[in-house]
Amino acid sequence: MSTTTGLDLLAHANVLTRQLRRTTEPVSAEQWNMFDATVHRLLLEIAGLNALHVRPGDPSRSAMHLAMQNYPRPLRAPIGASMSPEQAASFLGREGSTVRRYVKNGHLRAEVRDGRLHLDAADIPDQVDVPPADPADPHPLAKASCALGALADLLHQARDDAAPVLDHRGEIAGASIHLLSLAAAAARHTLAHGPLDEVVRPVLVARYAERAIDTLRDVAHRPASLHDILAVSGDATCGPPVERLEAALQQWVQATRRELDQMIPSVDVIRQMANQGAHMCAVVRALATQEAPGTAELGLPAPQVLHEAADSLNTGERAWRHVTTLSRPRHEFVTASRDLYEALHAVGTALQQGDPHGDRAYAAPALRHALHGVTELVIATRGLPETFLNAGVLFAPATAIAAKEELVTQRLRHEHVPVNYTDVPNLVHDWVDACAAAHRVRFQVSITPESRLCATAGAGRNRAIERRI
């Protein structure tokens, strides 16, 4: 497989921490500092400064807020972050009022934006220069730092793309507990095998981790959505069909999100989403209905649900056929759509012809992720028809609208004219039905790592993870 998920990286770091506990290799101060800085950086990516990523209704919000405030004075602030004086206080080991006084007296640089003080992380003094972990270092602690650093990169990218991650109640607390457990185990090993004149920092981190775990345990849930953020290696245009599909899916999802973030998205993007979803449902249905042992264990939606979803998506696509927002998708989206279609077609052909790369158990995880990614984007567009119609940005050729006296001139000139609800009576209904069908498919998609890490792909995946980090 060419895909590594957030949960894969967390599990890999867990394995490396177990290896660390079984070894007597000494830990240098540099190795510990790299691990310490990486843990703090990942904790910030999970929870945000002062737990800003935790939703107000989440019962873990207060506990996470305290956990982020009480982390032992971090070795360095997050690069590129803009912080309030209160947020910067923990990196200086001072109170928020003291930081404000430093700013007032000119000892710290800050700027006023929207009536509030903002400090750049680079301006905070007395930070330890901690280089990133060396991937070539064979020490288990260095390898664990690389795995956790890769996870921090994935989370940062997901936050930038506004992708839903750790958005269910208790997931942030669950991910934090897992991370802090690794930190506590690594700190204990460092105390036993590290230099005696550098034991203060591991002691502080170990004490902090164990206390934070106690406060978070009752409100934590398994961070299952980490399975939805992916790192994909490979080329969308060459290689085994399944690896092409994984690479093409990631590129297409990113390109589609960028298109949907436009002020007025193109209708061609929405139609392409429906086409890709219907095609995907058809391929997965063919896989799910094959008469072979283990079909029920592949974690795929029921064939009837896939069939109904494909029909609904095709109907929804036809409802958009004669309307436009007069904007066009970018070249990157068109290219990514073509690559995804061809990769999916290659997977379907391999499954039908019995190609070794078309093994059902090998292909199922990639198809589950593909279904999840496409249906998630379709569901996110549920309200677009009404939004477009209410804003008056939806148009159609005058010749495609029922004859009206006031449109005679436009019909003769073949012009586009604004449309309203009566001009496209089925658009809202058909697209809402398509989104509902996509939601049923997504609900049935099994994305548990236990089923994903099947015996066929397990060994290859572990090797791929180590290569990438």
Averaged pLDDT score across all residues of the chain: 82
Kindly tell me the burial class for residue 128, based on how many C-beta atoms sit within 10 Å of its own C-beta (0-12, 13-18, 19 or more): exposed
Report residue 330 as tokens.
């970018």
CATH of 77-127, one of 2.60.40.420, 1.10.1660.10, 1.20.1630.10, 1.10.3720.10: 1.10.1660.10
333 and 422 Cβ atoms separated by less than 8 Å = no
Q: How far apart are CA 148 and CA 141, in angstroms?
A: 11
CA distance 105 to 335: 55
User: Residue 232: which H helix or E strand, with range?
Assistant: strand 230-232
Residue 234: predicted pLDDT: 58
Which residues are CB-neighbours of 249 under 8 A, at least 6 positions away?
A: 232, 340, 343, 366, 369, 370, 373, 374
CA distance 316 to 318: 5
Predicted pLDDT of residue 467: 43
User: Quick one: angle between helices 267-288 and 427-444, nearest 10?
Assistant: 40
Q: What is the pLDDT of residues 395-437, one digit of tens each?
A: 988 776 765 655 556 655 667 788 888 888 899 999 999 999 9
Tokens read off for 221 = 């849930």
Best-predicted range by mean pLDDT (132-141, 264-273, 364-373): 264-273
Between 102 and 128, the more confident residue is 102
Mean pLDDT of 134-150: 91
Cα angle 278, 280, 285 (rounded to 5 degrees) comes to 95
330-344 pLDDT, tens digit per residue, is 999 999 999 999 988
d(CA 101, CA 51): 25
**Which pair of structure tokens corresponds to residue 135?**
């991937």
Q: How far apart are CA 145 and CA 104, in angstroms?
A: 38
Mark residue 170 as left, alpha or beta (left: phi above 0; alpha: psi -120 to 50; beta: remaining): left
Residues 139-160 have a mean pLDDT of: 90
Top-ranked range on mean pLDDT: pick from 27-31, 90-94, 226-230: 27-31
Who has greater pLDDT, 291 or 8? Answer: 8
Q: Which two tokens stand for residue 336?
A: 């990514």
Q: Residues with Cβ < 8 Å from 164, sequence gap 6 or more?
A: 225, 228, 376
Residues 82, 83, 89, 91, Cα dihedral to 10°? -30
The answer to whether the CB of 3 falls within 8 A of the CB of 465 is: no
Mean pLDDT of 432-456: 67
More confident residue, 388 or 113: 388
> With a threshold of 0.75, does the pTM exceed it?
no
Q: Read off the pLDDT of residues 183-195 as tens digits, 9 standing for 90 and up.
A: 999 999 999 998 8
Domain residue ranges in the chain: 3-76+132-227, 77-127, 233-468
- Furthest-apart CA pair in the chain: how many Å? 90
